[in-house]
Amino acid sequence: MTPKYSGIDAGQYKHRLKISKLKEVLGQDSTGDQVAAEDRYEELFTVWGELQPQQGREFWGGERVNTEMLALAWTRYTEQITDTMILEWVGRNKTFNIISVIDIRGEMRELEMQLKEMPVGQPMRNPE
């Protein structure tokens, strides 16, 4: 899809996109030292945007078929979204790593995000 450079039509943002960041939960090991106990995602905010799947594939791994989807999303400009966060497509049960965040044409009007779907039940950051 061609980005919408000519301006922002409020009707184009028809999807709810929940933005979260990784929050490390600390625990203690047997010696009393702090260690990372688990990773959780902390919801930061929800925005209106547009998300469009771009490419998908299936592949064998670990004796099962895995799927992978790449997507693009657009929303109004904000400095709060970074490539260290994740995006949930609300109502679609899809969660994505944010791979890159681009200020379209440098006008501080609209962001384009490149996304990679996260495997179900496997939190991860920007897989190579």
How would residue 36 be classed by pLDDT, with cut points 50, 70 and 90?
A: low
pLDDT at residue 15 greater than cutoff 90: yes
Evaluate the CA torsion angle 71, 76, 77, 78 in order and state its sign.
negative
How would residue 25 be classed by pLDDT, with cut points 50, 70 and 90?
A: low
Contact 88, 45 (CB under 8 A): no
CA atoms within 13 A on the CB side of 56: 9
Average pLDDT over residues 29-53: 82
- The reply to whether 81 falls in a domain is yes
- The reply to whether 80 falls in a domain is yes
Task: Domain count for the chain, please give it.
Answer: 1
- The reply to whether 3 falls in a domain is no
CA 121 to mean position of chain CA atoms: 15
Check which CATH number belongs to the domain holding 29 and give it. 2.40.10.270
CA 54 to mean position of chain CA atoms: 14
| Residue range(s) defining the domain that contains residue 28 | 13-117
Average pLDDT over residues 26-44: 75
Q: What is the pTM of this model?
A: 0.72
- The reply to whether 127 falls in a domain is no
